[in-house]
Structures are given as structure tokens and as C-alpha cells.
Amino acid sequence: MAIELRQFHQTFFDESFEGLASMETALLRFEQHPQANRAEDREALHAIFRVVHSIKGGSGTFGFGWIADFSHLLESLLDDLRDGRRTLDRGLVGLLLRSVDSLRNLLEAARSNAPVDKTAVEEVTMALEDLRRHVPDKAAPAASPSTSTDAITHGWRIRFVPKPNLFRTGNDPLRILRELERIGEIKVHCEAGAMPTWRDLDPESCYLGWTIELTTNVTRAELDEVFAWVVDDAQVEIAPLEPSTAASAPDAHAGIKHTMVKLHGTSLRVSTHKVDTLMDVVGELVITQTMLQQTAARFTPAELPRLLTALTQLERNVRELQEGVMSIRLLPLGFLFSRLPRLVRDIGEQLGKRVELRLGGEQTELDKTVIERISDPILHMVRNSMDHGIESPAERRAAGKPEVGTIRIEAQQKGGNVIIELEDDGRGLDYEKIQARAVEQGLLPPNTRLPPEQLHELIFLPGMTTSDTVTDLSGRGVGLDVVRNNIRSIGGNVEVASELGKGARFTIRLPLTLAILDGLGVQVGDQTYILPLVSITESVRLGDEDLERLPDGTEVFALRKDYLPLVRLHDIFGVAPRVREVARGTVVIIEADNFHAGLLVDEILGQQQVVLKSLETHYRRIEGVAAATILGDGTVALILDAGGLIRLAHGRMTPATINAAAIPAGAVPLH
């Protein structure tokens, strides 16, 4: 039977990368707490050994020779560590971490069928080999024992007398005889001389022996294979029947080749618990369907309560199904966080700074796509904190702070959002300097004084850097503006708070998923629009007398102490509204990036969950529109983007461009 090995590749890669990540974590812990709990360390070492051992086993099976060789070398070194022939010091941890990198590169290359950075791997290989050579009490690997016994004969005469305890290992002489019969022709003579009397007979012991004449052309080595499992529990004598010498048989194992495949698409590892839950829900759905069918088949008005019950049940089933399917896409943030300790260590070494990383909320779950899209921004922010935030040990000492800086990253779920806080106890943001720099770079007109909350915004401006020197790590033009844009592109946001000399805190707010949105339906003319619930603060009724007109034509109204611009949605999208007077419509207050605006709509329809359909993939990007969705009655509705609308309201875009972008929603080809 031919079994395709490729089908196991994905599991192998997933598992290997996961293993390497935990190996890395354990190594970093060793490094940080060298004198930690002995028993715990031993267990960690065993776990590391198992990771490498598994990679070696898998790569051997799948024919990834280089990975197998490398992991074999690494495994031998770990074996020395495990058996106490060598101690784990800082230098060795460094080498092991580099080995993790090498294995990752090799695996990545094998997975995508891409070339690998040979020099880096070879360097580590050489370092490992050097180390191995310097263990005095390690015996040289034993030579293969079956060198001179591979002569081919006519057959063999075998005497096989098992010890009484043979059965205790689950072995059975019958199996051996059957095996011999398979490889040649046998003549068997049974020796029953050792058989005790009935009274003394122990049915669990073996008393028989055999002499077998085997006519075959198998080699001695192959014959030894047959007895390999029982050779310690039996007397086995083998002599050639009619010896003759011939060339040894070619190695049967040579020539086995595996091909590598390029893997397309990404995969997801899902806990069986989640799948089981889904199965349960689907089961209930089937029951509900039957119930509905039966009710429909013999429907009379009297059956109405029954129909309603079934429909309620259907609604619950669908909601559970939706939650279940969504949860499959959710991954714990730990997947992302686990990369950070290594990053912090490496950067710390590079910068000569010592930083303790405190992680929290690793079990908080987020959509896989969100995690993928957020990972670069977060890595960038950590780099940023270490480079610009945390001071050098000397500076910290002078400032009366502990030499070791702290970066705290914590995640938590709040309603439909996940909040990630990234806080450092470094020098904080120097607003004076930032403002001066902004003026210098022409980002601000000279002599402007900005209120604190807008000063915060400055660090997110493109081209903004407060660093005096461009370092290797950051300050290369990829700034926080890119970070913010990336986060915004997935419907999240980032804000900063800071105190000079004490540190800075970045707060990232992310949607749980990108697929479904909690929205508020609003009506304008014959169109329905969806406003993301997260960007709505309140809705108010205004009178026409509340409106004032600025010289540039912008309409504003007072809300408590602020003046907010009024955005007439019908103007933006060019639809005929049912109401034009503010007093007859409703004004929804939206918020984005601390800016507010009021949206004039005909009426509010109510809260609903909508499935996002990208407008960009089906049409193109439109300012003020985040996506589209299909409503329950089959019509298409645009999902509005509060940030974009506010930008429109603040007049950063001329009405001409807006009108050019406006299209009747129903004309958008969506499916």
C-alpha cells in the first residue's frame, strides 16, 4: 500500500515551529534565572530534548536530510546536557538559541521549497561540532556490527531455545517460526525435553526449543533481524548450511526518496473541544430543521406557537453556530507574545540595555488575521520602546531608577474589543522636543502651542522621529505612523500616554474579528447605512437654531462645551433624504481619534450585526466607507468609516472629490 507522506508535512511543520517556540522560551528562562529550580530545569531540559528529538524523527521520516543531520547533532549535545556531562552556561544558551534560529530557517526553507541561508546554518553547525569534539568522556559511536556476516548462503541451520520468560515480553516463538517460513523454506524439529510434568507446568513459561533448517538466500544480517527482539531472552545459534561467499546485497534503505511540496494557503490548528462544540450545534440545527419541516407540513394557525418556538430555537442555533465558527478563527495572543522574549533579549544585547519583559493576558483570543496583521506593529513598538524609551543602565542609575528596565505588555478583552497595553518605564515622551522637532521638520507652523492630547498625536505623524541619531533598530523612517495605519486598517486604534522621565504607555484597541461587525443601521432616503457601534458615542436631536455656519461653509453645532461639525450624510452620498431640516432628523455623534462629528440621518433603524464584505476587493476604496454588507432583505448597505467621515467633515477633502466617489450603493457588484 502506498501512503503519501506529504499529507503529514503540515502537521510536522506546525508542530516543529511550535516546539521551537517553547524551546526558545525555556532557553530564555534559563538565561534569566540561571539559579532557578533544579527539578524544573531538568524537566525543561527534557522538554527541549523532546522537541529536537521529534524534529529529528520527523525530518528523517520525510527525507529532510539536512534538518535531520542538524537536529541529530543538536540532540547529541542536549543529551550530554541531560546526562550531566556538560553544564548549561550563558554561552551555550546563546548557541542553542542560534540553533533554534537555524532549525527554523531550515524548516521554513523545506516548507516553502526555498533556498536557505547556508552560511548561518553552517556556522552554527561548526560551533556545535566543535563543542561535541571537546567532550572527553563520550565514547566514539560504535561501528556497525554487521560487516563481515553479510555472506550469502544456501541457507541456515538455526537452534532457537527461548528462556522460560520469553512470553513476558509479549514475544511468541510462533511468530518467529512464521517469519522464518516467510523468508524461506523451513524444516522444524521441536525439542520438548525441558517440558516439566503437568503438575509443575507453568502455562506462562516457555519450555520448548526448536532446530530449524532454513533454505533461503537471505543474509545473516537479515536473519539476525528476525531474532533481534528475542536474542536476549533465548539461546540462538545460527550456522550456514552450505556457506558460499558472494557480494553483499545492496542496502535496501538506499534509494528511498521523498519529494518536498510547496505548501499553499495557511492552516489553522483548532482544539478538538471547539470542533466538538460545533458538532453539537449542528446536531441541534438538524433537530430544529426537522421541527420546522414537521410544523410546515401540517400547518394550521393553531400551530403558530410551535412555529415561533422553532424559529426562536433556529435563531439560537444560528447564533451559536456563528460564535462557534468564529471561535475557530480565534487564536490566543500567546502565539504573538511568545516571540517577544527573544526579541527583547536580542535587542537588549545589541543596545547594551537590560530589560525585563512582563507579559499578561496571553490567553486572550483574537482572530487569526488580526493577530497576523498586528504582529509587525507590536514588534515595532517593542523595538521602539527599547530603543527610544528605555535608557541605558548608566542613565537609569543616574535617574535613580533600577538598572533593569521594564516593558509590560498586557492584553484583555473588553466587550467586542481586545485592548493591548504596552508600557515601559523609560524616559517617556519629551513633548517640548517633539514639538520643536515637528516645527523643525515643517510638520507644524512655527510658534504653535498644542494642547497635550494633540501633542500625543504628533508622534504618529509621518516622518516624525525624536531620536537624534538613526540607529540600526528604529528611526529609519518607518515610524509610528505606519504602526498606526496598520492598526487602523484592521479597524483598531492606538493611543499614547506618557509622563516625562517615568515612561510611556501605548494602548492598542482591536476588533475581535474582521468578519463581523456590531453596527447601527441608519436610514437616509431610500438607503440604509451601517455605522460601527464602536465609533458612536450618542445620538441627539437638534433644532435648526442650534446650527451655526462657519465662513468656509461648514455647519457646526454646540454639544456641551464643544463645537462639532455637522455632516449631512445625504450630501456626501448624493441621495435624496426624506428630511433636510435638522429638527426632523436625528444627529448621531461619531468619534474617531478623539475627534467628534455629528451625522445627520433621517432616522435610526436599530442595532444589528453585519457581515463585512470588502469594498476594495469588489470595487475600490472610498473615503468614509469602510466596507459593505448585505442586509437581511438582500439589499446592499455601505458600512461607514467614522474616521473617514470626520476627515471629510473637517474639510480635508473637497466636496468635489467626495461627490466623484459617491456611488449608489445598490450598484456595487457584490456577492
Partner 1 sequence: MATILTADDTATMRQMISFTLSSAGHQVMQASDGTEALALARTRKFDLVIADINMPNMDGISLVKSLRELPDYKFTPILMLTTESQAEKRQEGRSAGATGWIVKPFNPEQLLTIVKKVLG
Q: Does 8 bind partner 1 (CB under 8 A)?
A: yes
Only segment of 43-51, 99-107, 481-489, 662-670 that touches partner 1 (CB under 8 A): 43-51
560 vs 452: CA distance, rounded Å: 21
The one among 26, 28, 58, 348 contacting partner 1 by CB under 8 A:
58
499 vs 485: CA distance, rounded Å: 24
CB nearer to partner 1: pick between 47 and 120: 47
Cell numbers at 131, concatenated: 563543542
467 vs 387: CA distance, rounded Å: 9
Report the site for partner 1 in 538-597 (rule: CB under 8 A): none
The one among 22, 25, 57, 292 contacting partner 1 by CB under 8 A:
57
Cell numbers at 57, concatenated: 524523527
Q: Does 309 bind partner 1 (CB under 8 A)?
A: no
Only segment of 10-18, 464-472, 521-529, 595-603 that touches partner 1 (CB under 8 A): 10-18
Is 336 within 8 Å of 365 (Cβ atoms)? no
Least distance to partner 1, CB of residue 132, Å: 13
Q: Does 164 bind partner 1 (CB under 8 A)?
A: no
The one among 179, 181, 315, 403 contacting partner 1 by CB under 8 A:
179
Cell numbers at 575, concatenated: 441621495
Query: Based on the number of CB atoms within 10 Å of its own CB, is 62 exposed (0-12), middle (13-18) or buried (19 or more)?
Result: buried
Q: Does 276 bind partner 1 (CB under 8 A)?
A: no
CB nearer to partner 1: pick between 84 and 632: 84
Q: Does 1 bind partner 1 (CB under 8 A)?
A: yes
Is 562 within 8 Å of 595 (Cβ atoms)? no
For 399-444, strand residue ranges (E) read 405-414, 417-424
The one among 7, 35, 87, 300 contacting partner 1 by CB under 8 A:
7
Least distance to partner 1, CB of residue 101, Å: 21
Q: Does 128 bind partner 1 (CB under 8 A)?
A: no
Q: Does 39 bind partner 1 (CB under 8 A)?
A: no
Least distance to partner 1, CB of residue 619, Å: 43
Only segment of 4-12, 378-386, 387-395, 582-590 that touches partner 1 (CB under 8 A): 4-12
Reference 601, options 624, 569, 628, 561; nearest CA is 569
- The residue count for binding partner 1 (CB under 8 A) is 41
Least distance to partner 1, CB of residue 354, Å: 33
CB nearer to partner 1: pick between 170 and 445: 170
55 vs 101: CA distance, rounded Å: 14
The one among 6, 85, 163, 168 contacting partner 1 by CB under 8 A:
168
Is 510 within 8 Å of 417 (Cβ atoms)? yes
Reference 644, options 567, 582, 533; nearest CA is 567
Only segment of 46-54, 183-191, 338-346, 347-355 that touches partner 1 (CB under 8 A): 46-54
The one among 33, 90, 163, 178 contacting partner 1 by CB under 8 A:
178
Q: Does 479 bind partner 1 (CB under 8 A)?
A: no
Cell numbers at 406, concatenated: 521594564
What amino acid occupies position 180? L
Three-state SS letters, 468-502: CCCCCCCCCCCCHHHHHHHHHHCCCEEEEEEECCC
Element (DSSP H or E) covering residue 292:
helix 272-297
Q: Does 160 bind partner 1 (CB under 8 A)?
A: no
What amino acid occupies position 593? D
Q: Let me know how long the chain is.
A: 671
Reference 665, options 625, 634, 636; nearest CA is 636
Q: Does 184 bind partner 1 (CB under 8 A)?
A: no
Q: Does 169 bind partner 1 (CB under 8 A)?
A: yes
Report the site for partner 1 in 341-360 (rule: CB under 8 A): none
Q: Hey, is 593 helix, strand or coil?
A: coil
Other C-beta atoms closer than 10 Å to the C-beta of 282 total 13
Three-state SS letters, 244-267: CCCCCCCCCCCCCCCCCCCCCCCC
Beta strand 405-414 with 547-549: parallel, antiparallel or unpaired?
A: unpaired
Only segment of 174-182, 394-402, 404-412, 424-432 that touches partner 1 (CB under 8 A): 174-182
Only segment of 45-53, 275-283, 330-338, 347-355 that touches partner 1 (CB under 8 A): 45-53
Other C-beta atoms closer than 10 Å to the C-beta of 605 total 16
641 vs 626: CA distance, rounded Å: 5
The one among 139, 143, 174, 302 contacting partner 1 by CB under 8 A:
174
CB nearer to partner 1: pick between 68 and 390: 68
Q: Hey, is 547 helix, strand or coil?
A: strand
Q: Does 12 bind partner 1 (CB under 8 A)?
A: yes
Beta strand 595-601 with 562-568: parallel, antiparallel or unpaired?
A: parallel
Q: Does 47 bind partner 1 (CB under 8 A)?
A: yes
Q: Hey, is 631 helix, strand or coil?
A: coil
CB nearer to partner 1: pick between 250 and 669: 250
Q: Does 205 bind partner 1 (CB under 8 A)?
A: no
By rule CB under 8 A, what string of x and - marks binding of each residue 212-251 to partner 1? ----------------xx--xx------------------
Q: Does 254 bind partner 1 (CB under 8 A)?
A: no
Query: DSSP per residue over 318-332, as a string?
Result: HHHHHHHHHHHHEEE
Least distance to partner 1, CB of residue 291, Å: 36
Reference 602, options 574, 578, 576; nearest CA is 578
CB nearer to partner 1: pick between 27 and 514: 27
510 vs 495: CA distance, rounded Å: 12
CB nearer to partner 1: pick between 20 and 517: 20
The one among 22, 105, 146, 171 contacting partner 1 by CB under 8 A:
171
Q: Does 139 bind partner 1 (CB under 8 A)?
A: no
Q: Does 170 bind partner 1 (CB under 8 A)?
A: yes
230 vs 179: CA distance, rounded Å: 13
**Site of interaction with partner 1 (CB under 8 A):** 1, 3, 5, 7-8, 11-12, 15-16, 46-47, 49-50, 53-54, 56-58, 60-61, 68, 72, 76, 141-142, 167-172, 174-175, 178-179, 204, 228-229, 232-233, 256
